[in-house]
Amino acid sequence: MKVGLVSPYPWDVPGGVVAHVRELAETLISLGHDVSVISPVDDEDAPLPPWVTRAGRSVPVPFNGSVSRLIFGPVSASRVRRWLHDGDFDVLHLHSPETLSLSLLALMNARGPIVATFHAANPRSRVLALLQSPLQVQIEKIVGSIAVSPAARKTIVEHLGSDAVVIPNGVHVRRYADAAPLPGWPGSGGALGFVGRIDEPRKGLSVLLEAMPYLWKQFPDLRLLVAGPGELDHDVDERVVLLGQLDEDAKAQAYRSVDVFVAPNTGGESFGIILLEAMAAGTPIVASDLDAFRRVLDAPDGDRAGALATVGDAESVAHACASLLSSPARLEALSRCGRSLVSRYDWTVVAAEIVRVYETAVAASVGRVVEELEPM
Amino acid sequence: MGLFITIAVVAVLLAVYASWAAGRLDRLHARVDAAGAALEDQLKVRAAAAEELATQRRVPAPVAMELARAAAKARLATGLDHDREVIESALSRALQEACATFEHGSVATATAVDASTRAAFARRFHNDAVRDALVVRRRWVVRLLHLAGHAPRPAYFEIADAPLEFADVAAAAAPYD
C-alpha cells in the first residue's frame, strides 16, 4: 500500500510518538509497503531517512503547564498539500490529530481514507474541551481511529465523542532480545536500570534515587544505570551512572546491562513502552502500581512479568528490588514471563493489525487520499 | 429600515450556515453509507471463513453443525437491521465455541480470526460514522430547515464481537482491549 504518515512532533527531538511513527514506518517498509512520512524538523541540517519529508520548524508554545511544539503556517500548509498531492496515497495515517500540530494541518487539507492514532491519555484536557466544536468538523473526516491503550480510547470517547479500536504500541523485540550488555555491566555487585527523562518528575527518578541508600545497606556494590536526557540539579553517588540520551542500539544494550529494570513512574503514563522494552530484553521489572503498567505486565493466566511497588514510595521500591535481587529463581521466572508476554507487542504483529485498519478504512471510503482544504 | 437590514443579515448568515451544514451532513451520510457497505462486505467474508472452519475435523460435530448453520444464515443475510444483528451475534457465538477447541495461532483458525478482527474494525468505524452523523442531525438548525432531506436516519449496528478466545487461554486472551 502507499501509506502517508504524519508525525506531529519534530523528527529530531526524542519522544514516544515520534519513535512510534519511525518504528511503524520502518516496519511497514520491511513488510513491502511504500511509506512516506512528513514531519516537523527543527535542525535544518539533521540527517533524515530518504522517506521523510520536512514540513518546517516547530514553534514552542507554553501550554497547559508544559511546552507544546506546534507547527502551523502558510509554508507548512503548502508543504503538506504538495506532499499529499505528490504522494498519491492509498491511506493517510495521522498521529495525535487532536493536538494543534502538523497532523491537524494535514487533516484540514485532506479527504479520503484517513486513519488516526490517538496516543494521549489526558483525562483533564481543557484544550480538547475548548476546541471540541471546531475540531469536530475536522475529526469527523477520520474514517478509522486507533487508540494505543484503553486509557487513550477513554480520553477520545469522553472528549471527542468519538470511538477507536485499541492497538498497542509496538516494540522491536529482536533488537532488545539480541543486544549485548554494555562493557562492564552488570558487574558482580548487581545493577538496576532506569530509562527516561531524568528531570521529568513523573518518570520518578527521584523516588529511585531515594530508594538506593536502603538497597546499599544490603547490596553495597549495587550500581544504578540511568539512560535518558535531562539535567539533575544535584550531585549523585558514584554508584549511580548517568549515561545521558542513548541512541536506539545503545538503549537496547542498556536494558540488557542490568539485573532489574525499575519504572518508578508516579503517573501520567498512558502505556508504558519502557516496560515492553525491558520485557523484550528479558530483564525483570519493578514497576509502580499504575493501571497502565498492570495492563502491560499482567499475563492472562494470573502471572505477572514484574513486581509492583507503591507509587511514589521509595521504601516500597527498595523492598521490591531487594527481594528480587536476592532470588535468582524469581528473576528467571519474571524474565521468562516477560519474554512470552511481549511477543504480541512485536512490531510485526502490531503493524499487521494496523494494516488491517488501513484496509478496512480504504474499503469504507470512496476514492484515494486527495488534498482538499475544508473550511473550519 | 434598521430592522429590515438586521433581518436580511440574519437571513443571509443563516443561509450560509445552512448550506455549509448541508454539505457537511452530505459528507457524513456518504461516510455512513461507505462504512456500512464495507461492514456488510466484511461480514460476508467472515461468514465464508466460518463455513470453512466448520468443515475442519478437529471441531466436535455438534459445534461444527451449529457453526455451519449460523454461517449459512449469515451468508444469505443482507442489510444492517435488527434481524441481521441477531444473526451475526449468533455467528460470533458459534465462532467462539469452535475456536475454543483450538490453540491460539493455529493455522486452521487463522482465516476466521482475521475475518473476525476485520469485521470488528469495520463495525467500530461504521458506528463511529453513525455517531458523527447523528450529532449533526440533532442540531436545531438542521432539524428546523430539514437539512437532512430524505436521507434515512443512520442506525448503529450492535453485535457481540469480542476477540475470539482459544483453548490455551494464557496466550490468547485479548491483551489490550
Give tens-digit pLDDT for A104-135.
889 999 999 999 999 887 655 566 566 667 77
Residue B125 lies in a domain: yes
Contact B177 A166 (CB under 8 A): yes
Residue A150 with chain B: CB contacts under 8 Å = 176-177
Residue B94 lies in a domain: yes
What is the interface pTM, i.e. ipTM, of the complex? 0.88
pLDDT band at B69 (very low <50, low <70, confident <90, very high): very high
Residue B177 lies in a domain: no
Q: What is the mean pLDDT of residues A251-279?
A: 89
Q: Is the pLDDT of residue B117 over 70?
A: yes
Residue B125 with chain A: CB contacts under 8 Å = 143-145, 360-361, 364
Percent of chain B with pLDDT over 90: 53
Q: What is the mean pLDDT of residues A178-196?
A: 90
Question: pLDDT higher for B45 or B147?
Answer: B45
Residue B6 lies in a domain: yes
Mean pLDDT of chain A: 87
CATH class of A173-343: alpha beta
Residue A143 with chain B: CB contacts under 8 Å = 31, 35, 125, 129
pLDDT of residue B175: 44
Q: What is the mean pLDDT of residues A283-294?
A: 91
Contact B135 A344 (CB under 8 A): no
Q: Which of B28-32, B137-141, B156-160 has the lowest mean pLDDT?
A: B137-141
Q: Is the pLDDT of residue A226 over 70?
A: yes
pLDDT of residue A131: 64
**What's the number of CA atoms in the CB half-sphere (13 Å) around residue A368?**
13
Decide if A48 touches B, using CB distance below 8 A.
no
Mean pLDDT of chain B: 87
| Chain A residues 343-362 with a CB less than 8 Å from chain B | 344-345, 353, 356-357, 359-361
Q: Is the pLDDT of residue A63 over 90?
A: no
User: Domain limits of chain A?
Assistant: 2-170+346-371, 173-343
Residue B35 lies in a domain: yes
pLDDT of residue B163: 84
Q: Is the pLDDT of residue A188 over 60?
A: yes
Contact A364 B171 (CB under 8 A): no
pLDDT of residue B148: 77
| Chain B residues 89-148 with a CB less than 8 Å from chain A | 114, 117-118, 120-122, 124-129, 131-132, 135
Alpha carbon of A364: minimum distance to chain B alpha carbons (Å): 4
Rounded to 5°, the CA angle A309-A315-A320 comes to: 45
Domain A2-170+346-371 matches domain A173-343 at the CATH topology level: yes
Q: Which of A119-128, A159-168, A273-282, A345-354 has the lowest mean pLDDT?
A: A119-128
> How does pLDDT run across B129-156, given as a tens digit for each residue?
999 999 888 888 788 878 777 788 899 9
Residue B17 lies in a domain: yes
- A129 residue type, one letter: A
* Number of domains present in the structure of chain B: 1
Residues of the domain holding B163 = 2-172
Among all residues of chain B, which has the CA nearest to that of A145?
B125
Q: Is the pLDDT of residue A374 over 60?
A: no
Alpha carbon of A363: minimum distance to chain B alpha carbons (Å): 5
Q: Is the pLDDT of residue B71 over 70?
A: yes
The pTM of the full predicted model, rounded to 2 decimals, is: 0.87
Residue B77 lies in a domain: yes
Domain at A2-170+346-371: CATH architecture: 3-Layer(aba) Sandwich (3.40)
pLDDT of residue B32: 94
pLDDT of residue A130: 63
Q: The cell 540539579 sits on which residue?
A: A233
Contact B176 A150 (CB under 8 A): yes
pLDDT of residue A234: 83
